[in-house]
Chain A
Amino acid sequence: MKQTIAAPPVIRLGTDYIGKPVSRVEGLAKVTGAAKYAAEFNVPDLLYGYVVSSPIAKGKITRIHADEVLALSGVLQVFSHENVPSLAWFDRSYKDDLAPGGSPFRPLHDAEILFSQQPVALVVAETFELARYAASLLRVEYAAEAHETDIEKKRDDGYEPGRGKSGFMPPPKPRGNPNEAYKNAAHQHEAEYIHLAQHNNPLENFATTVEWLGEGKKLNIFDKTQGAMNVQQYLTKIFGLSKEEARVISKFTGGAFGAGLRPQYQVFLAVLAALALERSVRVSLTRQQMFSLGHRPHTLQYLKLGANENGGLEAVHHAALAETSQFEDFTEVVVNWSGLLYQCENVKLDYQLTKIDANSPIDMRAPGAATGSFALESAMDELAYKAGVDPLDFRLLNYAERDQNMNKEFSSKKLRECYHQGAARFGWEKRNPTPRSMRDGNWLIGYGMATGCWDATQQKAAAKASLTADGHLMVSSASNDIGTGTYTIMTQIAAQTLGLPLEAVTFRLGDTELPEAPVQGGSWTAASVGTAVQAACQALGKKLLKLAQQLADSPLQGAAFEDVQFVDGVIRLNEDISRRVGIAELLDASGEEKVEAEATTGPNMLKQQPYSMHSHNAVFVEVRVDEDLGTVHVARVVNAVAAGRILNPKTARSQVLGSVVWGIGMALMEESIMDHGFGRYINHSLAEYHIPVMADIHTIDVVLVEEEDDIVNPLGVKGIGEIGFVGVAAAVANAVFHATGKRVRDLPVSLDKLL
């Protein structure tokens, strides 16, 4: 390619997108219905499967009267443990990437009932209505056995779980002498904090459509999931399919909040039926059935805090007991935060599980941290009152400059700025410290605050970038977008890295045929996939530079990659921006159809090893409580979040807004009521499982405190999907105490507890 091309005119396209409030790139598709969700793929000749769920919590299926239902015309099959074809023999084949320790639930495997609402059969028919009707007629006989679903009755059977689940860190060993320090503390506080189970309840119902393309051909599996790759590896192991045969597609996900981290039983059932019947099959779950997909576990927490005369924290003891199923040890990090968030020399942290006859819990937004922070931050508030220190000052006084759990520096930590900026925005100084001292007619007014913390992690991920002659850049990775804004921020990163206009860039995700990516969760997607996208685009940039240098009289002759910048559609020298080559012209001149590059990235262990990496927030809440009637309104929330670099303040703000709404829900209304007589969640509908409605939400003010951090990952991002939720429930409960003088230690703070 020895030709010369003229330098393009200078046009300010403004291709610096990172940090700009770019609107969702998939927004139009979503609001016009062009974005299709798992249950919306209307493939030809579709069959419908309807799940039959167990009414009992424990026992055995003794008989299934499938013949009665099969007699209905249009019903094709009733799948149950009686006729399921032999599948993978070992239960470890059912382990997905996020499976905790133990033996995973195997749908329709045998006659054993392990939890109420367990799927016991799948009725497949020509129409959805017929499948549903037939399912209602299916008589299943059971031999029920005595169950126990009450964690209170299993308090004495607690045990320390193993590491089991990826990402789980058991509590660190005790440090100092917590018992002694507590005994000698000038101010002591000891209490138990409780919340019942909660369910993720994403708006989109769980569903899978399996498209059967013919004998020996692949299956297109449209699934609602947070991780297409995880679902694929699960299915291939169980059904003995190759990766080519099991293509999992999940381009749009209507929320999941953790419920989609593990393959759920509808995908298993849909694939089972499609393979057995050699037809396309859809299985969708009802809202009621979704109460069997896992939950935030009912957890009992014991807190013991001691402070000296000056309010310095002397002793922390935090112990948690959480439920898990009989078959798996679901674990989450509940107590570790209590050794991390405040400076304290004497700390003891315990975490135990106890088994009940319910399905395994599952990660639910900010798993563990939401639970632990409620107890710790409520207890900190209580101790602040005892020590006569303002709750904010109390936290500043005990600010941790170092991670004492790991004995490491923080890679960055602007929590102090969160406290200051949040308090200023909120007007914390107007707070009268005395409970019940602020009112407006019947309304008691309360100010409360709390702190949150979450991990900043990066996972291994791959991405591919492909620039075609028409100037269009396609970037892809098998990641997922559960509504968080992944499509948008990846498009921004790619466009900026190669200096292309946003409109010239498309990002693809949610397909196992794309480069490998981790499940969308843990707030790690921006860091993990973002880094891979950036690296793939940089690799592509290097190829472009090489091409540019092959031009005759190339203005970029001899320049290293570091010497050039990709801006406004050109490659130009840092030192002399008039020496430039237009990317479009370059592609034209090169005659290449397309230029491609791939990259796989992961955390830089060497660089990160000496550091502790976390995001933080400070939440300030004003509540108004009706003095006589106990109704609580969260009038105002200021949430100041430090989560590294903010890629897109608009989508980031949305994440924090949603988090605050979640926090208000957790604080005031969410609870899954287990009727222990039946061993069954009894309020299993959105009419009776309450989440906030618009009328419950008033002013929410999000403060994004930016941090520079080149240790967490090259982009400097920490992730923002979860941190905004941590601490909100405690801040609300603390505000309610300030308003009323009543301390509610068992969530939710419903009106009956304030009468």
Chain B
Amino acid sequence: MNSFTLTQATAIDEALRDKASHDNSAYLGGGTNLIDLMKENVARPTHLTSLHKLPLSQIERAPDGGLRLGALATNAETAYHPEVEKHYPLLSQTILAGATPQLRNMATDGGNLMQRTRCYYFYDLATPCNKREPGTGCSAIGGYNRIHAILGASEQCIATHPSDMCVALAALEAVVQVSGPDGERRIKFEDFHRLPGERPELDNTLQPGELITAVDLPEKGFAKHFTYLKLRDRTSYAFAAVSVAAALELDGNTIREARLALGGVAHKPWRSKEAEALLVGRPATVETFRQAADQVVKGAVGQGSNDFKIELARRAVVRALKQATEMNYELDENAFLNSNP
């Protein structure tokens, strides 16, 4: 870790200016990812603009009727917020499936979106990595890649985005609210994270200097039939091998609307609109779910140690859709707490 200076910004403008006026600077949220990366010398900023004092930790109704999550709201505050629990229980469930209580108390919603991959090689300076040092090569290809991507990878990088929360945000069609040197803009969640392609060093489409100020949830929360199914190597405190966020709107046994997103399988939360389209208008049966699952993994490629994830993802999609169908959150508020294998 190198030594660094730190400024506590108190207003958005000030944060933007402070960051811009220092070379090699970074925003500091909860620090649960950035500080670790600095200790490993993966990130070496010489200046940090701390966001802690920004007035961005509120969770409130958004102008369009949805909910606005301030970028500085912690993951724990978000998961346990009554509005989130009531209208967006899928989001609560994904957050609580991640990390540990200690980490969730520190981690911010903005930081969660921005957290970097857990690829072993990315973290280990003794090995080449295109994401850490473009052009050096990808050690995971042909190496040990149990936690790597089966969808949307490139020859430059096969890393996955590790967030659980973001899988729900993808399924719920959240919108990321951003302030930057050129003013404010809104980024649709599906456009926020990117695939590695030829530029694996870029995780997302945020531009240099831009700051996430909020994440907006549209009004529709799918609060009745939903599931977040997270499969991992131990029951808690492990990143997903494969995870599935499923949300349905049912009319009797017919699927009216469907959302399906996967974690642990790609460089971004992997939403499958094709599979969703396949579900809509069909009966909520295992047969339908299987077809959707096949659609999700169409084109999936294993890298060796992660070959199993293709089949696991298929099965997980079927199970998640089944659980979402059977669950009725309005009747049983504890249902989601007991739904994980």
**A residues with CB within 8 A of B:** 55-56, 116, 129-130, 132-133, 136, 288, 442, 626, 628-631, 633, 668-669, 673, 675, 677-678, 680, 682-685, 687-688, 690, 692-696, 750-752, 755
Contact A630 B127 (CB under 8 A): no
Known contacts A687-B239, A696-B236, A751-B233; 7 additional CB pairs below 8 A are A628-B318, A675-B143, A675-B144, A678-B126, A680-B124, A695-B236, A755-B315
Contacts of A688 in B (CB 8 A): 118, 120, 147
Contact B312 A630 (CB under 8 A): yes
11 A-B pairs with C-beta separation under 8 A: A288-B40, A626-B341, A629-B312, A630-B312, A678-B126, A682-B120, A682-B121, A684-B124, A695-B235, A696-B234, A755-B308
Taking CB atoms and an 8 Å cut-off, the chain B residues in 290-334 that contact chain A are 308, 311-312, 315-316, 318-319
User: Whole-angstrom distance from the CB of B314 to the nearest CB of chain A?
Assistant: 10
Judged by a CB distance under 8 angstroms, whether B208 is at the interface is no
CA distance A690 to B126 in the complex (A): 22
Contact B142 A677 (CB under 8 A): yes
Judged by a CB distance under 8 angstroms, whether B123 is at the interface is yes
Judged by a CB distance under 8 angstroms, whether B1 is at the interface is yes
Taking CB atoms and an 8 Å cut-off, the chain B residues in 207-254 that contact chain A are 231, 233-239, 241
Contacts of A631 in B (CB 8 A): 231, 341
Cβ-closest chain A residue relative to B309: A752
Contact of A129 among B1, B234, B237 (CB under 8 A): B1
Contact A682 to B316, CB < 8 A, known contacts A669-B234, A755-B308, A755-B311: no
CA distance A630 to B314 in the complex (A): 13
Contact of A693 among B1, B234, B315 (CB under 8 A): B234
User: Whole-angstrom distance from the CB of A345 to the nearest CB of chain B?
Assistant: 43
Contact B235 A696 (CB under 8 A): yes
CA distance A83 to B341 in the complex (A): 57
**B residues with CB within 8 A of A:** 1-3, 40-41, 118, 120-121, 123-127, 139, 142-144, 146-147, 231, 233-239, 241, 308, 311-312, 315-316, 318-319, 341
Contact of B127 among A678, A696, A750, A752 (CB under 8 A): A678
Contact A55 B126 (CB under 8 A): yes
Contact of B231 among A130, A288, A677, A751 (CB under 8 A): A751
User: Whole-angstrom distance from the CB of B32 to the nearest CB of chain A?
Assistant: 11
Contacts of B239 in A (CB 8 A): 687
Contacts of B142 in A (CB 8 A): 677
User: Whole-angstrom distance from the CB of A673 to the nearest CB of chain B?
Assistant: 5
Contact A678 to B41, CB < 8 A, known contacts A55-B126, A755-B315: no
Contact B123 A442 (CB under 8 A): no
Contacts of A752 in B (CB 8 A): 241, 308, 312
CA distance A116 to B124 in the complex (A): 12
Q: Inter-chain contact count A-B, CB under 8 Å?
A: 95
Cβ-closest chain A residue relative to B123: A685
CA distance A526 to B10 in the complex (A): 60
Contact A629 B234 (CB under 8 A): no
Contacts of B41 in A (CB 8 A): 136
Listed residue (B2, B124, B143) with the most chain A CB atoms within 10 angstroms of its CB: B124
Contacts of B319 in A (CB 8 A): 628-629
Contacts of A130 in B (CB 8 A): 3
Question: Which 7 residue pairs of A and B lie closest in terms of their CB atoms, listed nearest first?
Answer: A55-B126, A752-B308, A695-B235, A695-B236, A626-B341, A631-B341, A682-B120
Contact A751 B312 (CB under 8 A): yes
Contacts of A669 in B (CB 8 A): 233-234
Contact A677 to B139, CB < 8 A, known contacts A631-B341, A687-B118: yes
CA distance A633 to B238 in the complex (A): 15
Contact A682 to B311, CB < 8 A, known contacts A133-B2, A628-B318, A677-B143: no
Contacts of A683 in B (CB 8 A): 120, 144
Contact A133 to B341, CB < 8 A, known contacts A628-B319, A669-B234, A751-B233: no
CA distance A132 to B44 in the complex (A): 13
CA distance A630 to B309 in the complex (A): 12
User: Whole-angstrom distance from the CB of A58 to the nearest CB of chain B?
Assistant: 14
Contacts of A685 in B (CB 8 A): 123
Contact of B126 among A673, A680, A687 (CB under 8 A): A680
Contact of A673 among B144, B234, B238, B341 (CB under 8 A): B144
Contacts of A56 in B (CB 8 A): 126
Contact of B315 among A136, A628, A682, A694 (CB under 8 A): A628
Contact B143 A750 (CB under 8 A): no
CA distance A416 to B3 in the complex (A): 63
CA distance A129 to B41 in the complex (A): 13
CA distance A56 to B235 in the complex (A): 34
Cβ-closest chain A residue relative to B307: A752
User: Whole-angstrom distance from the CB of B262 to the nearest CB of chain A?
Assistant: 14
User: Whole-angstrom distance from the CB of B235 to the nearest CB of chain A?
Assistant: 4
Cβ-closest chain A residue relative to B236: A695
Contact B124 A690 (CB under 8 A): no
CA distance A630 to B3 in the complex (A): 46
Contact A755 B312 (CB under 8 A): yes
Contact of B341 among A442, A690, A750 (CB under 8 A): A442
User: Whole-angstrom distance from the CB of B260 to the nearest CB of chain A?
Assistant: 17
CA distance A673 to B142 in the complex (A): 14
Contacts of A678 in B (CB 8 A): 126-127, 139, 143
Contact of A116 among B126, B235, B315 (CB under 8 A): B126
Contacts of B127 in A (CB 8 A): 55, 675, 678, 680, 682
Contacts of B126 in A (CB 8 A): 55-56, 116, 678, 680
User: Whole-angstrom distance from the CB of B127 to the nearest CB of chain A?
Assistant: 6
User: Whole-angstrom distance from the CB of A729 to the nearest CB of chain B?
Assistant: 15
CA distance A294 to B124 in the complex (A): 19
Cβ-closest chain A residue relative to B127: A678
Contacts of B308 in A (CB 8 A): 751-752, 755
Cβ-closest chain A residue relative to B239: A687
Contact A750 B233 (CB under 8 A): yes
CA distance A55 to B127 in the complex (A): 8
User: Whole-angstrom distance from the CB of A445 to the nearest CB of chain B?
Assistant: 14
Contact A694 to B236, CB < 8 A, known contacts A136-B2, A626-B341, A752-B308: yes
User: Whole-angstrom distance from the CB of B270 to the nearest CB of chain A?
Assistant: 18
